[in-house]
Structure 1
Amino acid sequence: MRLTWRKNVPDGVAVRRGERVLAVGGETVATDAALYLPGADEHTRLPWEQVEQATWQDGVLFVREVGGRRHTVRLAEPGSVPEAVRERVTATVVVSTHVKLPAGGVRIVGRRPPTAAGTLGWTFVFDRGLDPDDPGLLAQAEQALEEIRRQTGL
């Protein structure tokens, strides 16, 4: 992937020291550590391991954070931002597996920050129709996670 010169970073985007700029598209900046998305007042810095899903369609980048917050950004000149987003998000996923539960299922995902020293974070994505706040369902998912951790040594 070609690195983009820092001088191409739009005004108002304060890329953190030590981050390498990978792509710039309009007001959106992808670095090796995070995605900078334009907001009403300032840019949002979203570390790659916090991106649950990102899709690119018809000139629009759709981003969903772990926890459900959503961002929609129209990129008139996307540059290589869509490719950088795909590569960086995929690179954070260490484990992704769907587990059957008595009432349905859950996708259990383990993500690690781009730096090797980062801690593995786990998320549950429950099948449609399941209540992610149901304590019994959460307990079943936690039990499945413990089995995955035991099997993988993570």
Structure 2
Amino acid sequence: MRLSWGSRSLPAEAGVTLEPGERVLVHARTPDGFVVVTDRALHLPGATSLPWHRIDRAQWDQEGLSVTATDGTVRRVLVPEPGRVPEAVRERVTSSILVNRHVRLGDRGGVRMVARRVPGQDAAEWDLVFDPGLDSTDPGLRAAAEQALEDLRRTMGV
């Protein structure tokens, strides 16, 4: 299904540099510039570009957008008139996820394994997110998580 997001013409003052072949889906003005949604990334004011596979979650409220990257970095952008940007961001983040599975690693918790589609490529990247309280640097726990990931990759074919 092809979604139509409205105006795709990006004003020159947006200051966003697109990669060859990257398409603008929708944009909105912010107090600091523009939020631009493309088929490959979320471009935020200040020349910050987040490829869709690097976004763990995006949350909207009445004032704007909070984006949590897969490395845990949170970015907040005020967007007074977001237009269709929230729907476009939700669709892009959701469609980037190929697999999202939680696996128990004993009595104390587990790990969330997420495979995300890399925009413009025929590839996926995996993230392991350990439950709070678990030490992701513990060699035994890490080995159990890696084995569970290998089993899941084999099962899912990703």
Structure 2: runs of 5+ lacking an equivalent: none
Q: Residues of 1 paired with 2:79 and 2:10: CA distance?
A: 19
Percentage identity across aligned positions?
Answer: 47
TM-score for the superposition, normalised by structure 1: 0.89
Structure 1 counterpart of 2:133: 129
Amino acid at match of 2:94: T
Structure 2 counterpart of 1:11: 14
Q: Residues of 1 paired with 2:114 and 2:123: CA distance?
A: 13
Q: Of the candidates 69, 79, 84, which is equivalent to residue 80 of structure 1?
A: 84
Amino acid at match of 1:60: G
Measured on the aligned residues, the alpha-carbon RMSD in Å equals 1.6
Shift of 1:153: 2.0
Q: Number of matched residues?
A: 150
Q: Residues of 2 paired with 1:129 and 1:58: CA distance?
A: 33
TM-score for the superposition, normalised by structure 2: 0.87
Contact 1:91–1:114 at 8 Å: present in 2 too? no
1:31 maps to 2:35: no
Q: Runs (4+) of structure 1 moved beyond 4 Å?
A: none
Amino acid at match of 1:138: R
Q: Of the candidates 113, 117, 131, which is equivalent to residue 112 of structure 1?
A: 117
Structure 1: runs of 5+ lacking an equivalent: none
- Deviation sequence 1:34-63 (CA, Å, 0-9, x none): 000113xxx111110111111112222111
Contact 1:9–1:24 at 8 Å: present in 2 too? no
Shift of 1:4: 2.6
Q: Residues of 2 paired with 1:19 and 1:30: CA distance?
A: 10
Q: Residues of 2 paired with 1:129 and 1:144: CA distance?
A: 19
Secondary structure of 1:91 counterpart = helix
Secondary structure of 1:13 counterpart = coil
1:63 maps to 2:67: yes
1:20 maps to 2:23: yes
- Against the structure 1 CA distance between its residues 112 and 7, is the aligned structure 2 distance closer, same or farther, given a 3 Å change threshold? closer
